[in-house]
Amino acid sequence: MAALDEIRAERLRKLKLLEERGINPFPNRSNRTETIGSVLSGFAELEQKGTVVTIDGRVRALRKHGGSAFLDIEDGSGRMQAFFKKDEIGEEAFTLFEEVLDMGDFIEVTGTAMRTKHGQESILATSWRMLAKSLRPIPDEWYGFSDEEERFRRRYLDMLINKEVLENAQKRSVFWNAFRSYLIERGFVEVETPVLENTTGGAEARPFVTHHNALDIDVFLRISAGELWQKMLLVGGLTRTFEIGRIFRNEGMSREHLQDYTQLEFYQAYSDYEEGMRMVQDLYRHVAKETFGTLTFTIGEHTVDLGAEWQVYDFCEVLKREYGIDPTNTTIEEVAAALKKAGIEKEEAMNIERGVDLLWKKVRKTISGPGFLIGVPVYLEPLAKKSEKNEKVVERFQVLLAGSEMGKGFSELNNPIDQRERFEHQQALRDTGDDEAQMADMNFVEALEYGMPPSFGFGCSERLFSFLMNKDVREAQLFPLMRPRD
């Protein structure tokens, strides 16, 4: 800490020196005529014509040799060398450069394209100007930056030091825009739905609660990207909608789970989950190719080829084979016995729903995918239509990748009577202590009574991005939430 204080004090001295000489260390505007990327791409022509250019950027390397110096400057579009010579730039400007410039400063350099005797493409500087004086050194220049907690707290420094982090941020943008462009090209309308809700819906999760001062009511941060709201839009006449937005779940943290993250949800009228599976398979391949340029990924101990044939797994058949129970016709005693035999610790508020879900979660870790999980019992999905072939299960699928679930879709339940009954069952679970069961949203039931067309809906989160990157979800986020320093 003492070393940092000394470095900062020295840089403050240089800042004051600039001000004493009437130089603004933080001018409002730059005079840039070219990005570094454009200079590099058109270097031969600029060199031939002797064109004067002005570039801006952060100083990332500095090498002094008597009356000359070499600087590496970076502006986001590229990185190139600037060559400072005292007899070219002038003694006064060169002396100022020696007195005040540090690595990490943002500067402006005007000059012409030239190659050094070693063939290095450079700018021969005729003048320079300070754009922003840095008061702290970039960490790897003096003590390194390997502590994970500190990397997450100061992600901006992590990006400066680790180019992979910067590239990941760019890939994240490509990832979501690949979803967006795919859907827009197919006639979907992007919408925004409320983040603050009177009743949470669209998922089974523990919500965050906050107080709305103006209305003097408690409200919840949403746990889905507008599932019930988007289905109300189907009632209202829109036939294809989607939203990419932040959702919040007040649950545990792990390599796969965070409390606030980005989620995509889309809804398509006059469609069902079988058509949806075909669409999602094509969608995932499109997004993977656009973002990563490949369909094959190594994720933990799994190798996943999205271009291969996607397998279909039946939920009930898998659990019958693994544990000898039929999830559509079982008792809490049978589920408890299966949990004990499997070595799975029971939750405090245990019921059939939670027990069966825990049994499945152990099995899914062995499935590499890609594949679809179908045939889940009705009691595990209160928003999906019952199968016409077996009314004990619903028309729902989940994408299986690398031992986890990477998206969920189903034929949307549009029968208001059935929906009311399932909400009432979920409320009964909440009343017995299951705070992850869904809240009963009777406003949504009322909307269904006006009629909603048969529809398919699907949702997936940024966990898909982190999995394809083979990274912890915090690593794949730009600024994950951290506990405050003591």
Q: What is the pLDDT of residues 268-299, one digit of tens each?
A: 999 999 999 999 999 999 999 999 999 999 99
Number of other residues whose CB lies within 10 A of the CB of residue 67:
13
* Length of the chain, in residues: 486
CB 229 within 8 A of CB 448: no
Q: How far apart are CA 445 and CA 447, in angstroms?
A: 5
Q: Give the strand pairing for 106-115 and 121-132.
A: antiparallel
As a three-state string, the secondary structure of the chain is CHHHHHHHHHHHHHHHHHHHCCCCCCCCCCCCCCCHHHHHHCHHHHHHHCCEEEEEEEEEEEEEECCEEEEEEECCCCEEEEEEEHHHHCHHHHHHHHHHCCCCCEEEEEEEEEECCCCCEEEEEEEEEEEECCCCCCHHHCCCCCCHHHHHHCHHHHHHHCHHHHHHHHHHHHHHHHHHHHHHHCCCEECCCCCEECCCCCCCCCCCEEEECCCCEEEEECCCCCHHHHHHHHHHCCCEEEEEEEEECCCCCCCCCCCEEEEEEEEEECCCHHHHHHHHHHHHHHHHHHHHCCCEEEECCEEEECCCCCEEEEHHHHHHHHHCCCCCCCCHHHHHHHHHHHCCCCCCCCCHHHHHHHHHHHHHCCCCCCEEEECCEHHHCCCECECCCCCCEECEEEEEECCEEEEEEEEECCCHHHHHHHHHHHHHHHHCCCCCCCCCCHHHHHHHCCCCCCEEEEEEECHHHHHHHCCCHHHHCCCCCCCCCC
Query: What distance in Å separates the CA atoms of residue 148 and residue 150, rounded to the nearest whole number?
Result: 5
Query: What is the residue extent of each domain of the chain?
Result: 2-144, 157-310+369-476
d(CA 308, CA 448): 39
CB 102 within 8 A of CB 11: yes
CA-based angle 220:423:203, to the nearest 5?
A: 50
Spatial distance between the Cα atoms of 7 and 86, rounded to a whole number of angstroms = 27
C-alpha to C-alpha distances, 271 to 50, 414, 418, 455, nearest whole angstrom: 63, 12, 19, 5
Q: Which residue has the tokens 């500087």?
A: 125
CA neighbor of 103 nearest in space, from 77, 69, 127: 69
Q: Which two tokens stand for residue 24?
A: 């603004």
Q: Tokens in use for 484?
A: 């405050």
pLDDT at 462: 95
Residue range 362-372, pLDDT digits in tens = 999 999 999 99
- Rounded to an integer, what distance in angstroms lies between the CA atom of residue 125 and that of residue 97? 12
Nearest to 373 by CA among 344, 409, 322: 409
Distance CA(268)–CA(22), nearest Å, equals 63
State which amino acid sits at residue 303: T
Would you say 107 and 93 are in contact if contact means Cβ atoms under 8 Å apart? no
The CATH number of 2-144 is 2.40.50.140
Yes or no: say if 258 and 473 are a contact pair by the CB < 8 Å rule: yes
pLDDT lower than 50: segments of the chain: none
Query: From CA 38, how far away is CA 55, in angstroms rounded?
Result: 10
Q: Do domains 2-144 and 157-310+369-476 have the same CATH topology?
A: no
Task: Check: CB of residue 243 under 8 Å from CB of residue 226.
Answer: yes
Whole-number Å distance between alpha carbons of 272 and 217 = 38
* 114, β-bridge pairs: 122
- pLDDT confidence of residue 199: 85
Spatial separation of the C-alpha atoms in residues 191 and 231, rounded to whole Å: 12
Question: What kind of fold does domain 157-310+369-476 have according to CATH?
Answer: BirA Bifunctional Protein; domain 2 (3.30.930)
Backbone CA torsion sign across 482, 288, 226, 207: negative
**Tokens in use for 34?**
């070219």
Instruction: Please answer whether residues 292 and 265 qualify as being in contact, where contact means their C-beta atoms are separated by less than 8 angstroms.
Output: no
Q: Nearest-CA neighbor of 18 among 75, 104, 102, 142?
A: 102
